[in-house]
Structure 1
Amino acid sequence: MNPRKTEFVLTLIAGITGVIAGFTGIMGGGLMTAALSSSELTSEAGIYGSDVDAIVSASGIMVVVASFALIIGVVLFVFAFLIKKNAKVFGILTLILGVVGFFLVGLLWIVPGILAIIAGIMCLARKVPDFY
């Protein structure tokens, strides 16, 4: 029996949903940048000049930030397999990455963030018997 199976599964799901959240943020920012770069669309919406430039640059920043969230999702996926080796260290790192993701992509990070925080707390709080 695997003593850290729950933490493994939670971190694995957090990593997979984190990758999905990162891709969603990248696609959303990219689509917004592409749509607002169209002069026909912005003139129909009544957005002109510096407003368009500000929104396009904010969309570009969203793509960059979502790329970091994608990287965090991949790292959480890798941490799922390393939790069995050293639960305390990777539990702390999982907990930190779960919190950092909220600052990057906000609401897109609800599911992976909560799962990563729960897995990190379980790694730190749960004592595994020595006979495993």
Structure 2
Amino acid sequence: MNPRKTEFVLTLIAGITGVIAGITGIASGVIVAASSESGELANAASLINTDSEALAAAGGLTVIFSIIALVLGIALLVFAVLIKRNAKLFGILTLVAGAVGFFLVGLLWIVPGVLAIIAGIMCLARKVEAL
């Protein structure tokens, strides 16, 4: 019987959904940045030049934060594989990665963040009985 199977599965699902959240954030940031640069949006929404530039900057910042969130999602996949070797260390890293993602992409990180935080707490709190 695998003693850390629950933590492994939770962290694995958190990593997969984290990668999906990162890719979704990158795509939405690129769309916002690209559409704000077009003159059609500025004319249709009657945006002035500074508003259009601010929207482009926000889209670029979203792309940067989403790339970091994508890296966190990939890191969670690695942590899931390594969680059986040193549960305390990778439990702390999983907990930190789950919490940091909320600051990066906000609502896109709800599912991976909650799952990673639960898995991290389980790694730190649960005692595994030796067979």
TM-score class, shorter-chain normalisation, is: over 0.9
- Residue 61 (structure 2) pairs with residue 67 (structure 1): no
Alignment of 1:77-92 (within 5 A): 77-92=77-92
Match of 1:47 in 2: 47
- Give, in angstroms, the shift of residue 69 of structure 1: 0.1
CA distance in 2, matches of 1:41, 1:92: 45
- Give, in angstroms, the shift of residue 44 of structure 1: 1.1
CA distance in 2, matches of 1:41, 1:84: 51
- Give, in angstroms, the shift of residue 128 of structure 1: 0.4
Alignment of 1:28-43 (within 5 A): 28-43=28-43
CA distance in 2, matches of 1:44, 1:6: 51
CA distance in 2, matches of 1:100, 1:115: 13
Match of 2:125 in 1: 125
- Give, in angstroms, the shift of residue 43 of structure 1: 0.8
CA distance in 1, matches of 2:24, 2:69: 10
**What are the ranges of 5 or more consecutive residues in structure 2 without an aligned counterpart?**
none
- Give, in angstroms, the shift of residue 8 of structure 1: 0.1
Taking structure 2 as the reference length, what is the TM-score of the superposition? 0.99
- How many residue pairs match? The answer is 131
Give percent identity, aligned residues only.
Answer: 64
Match of 1:100 in 2: 100
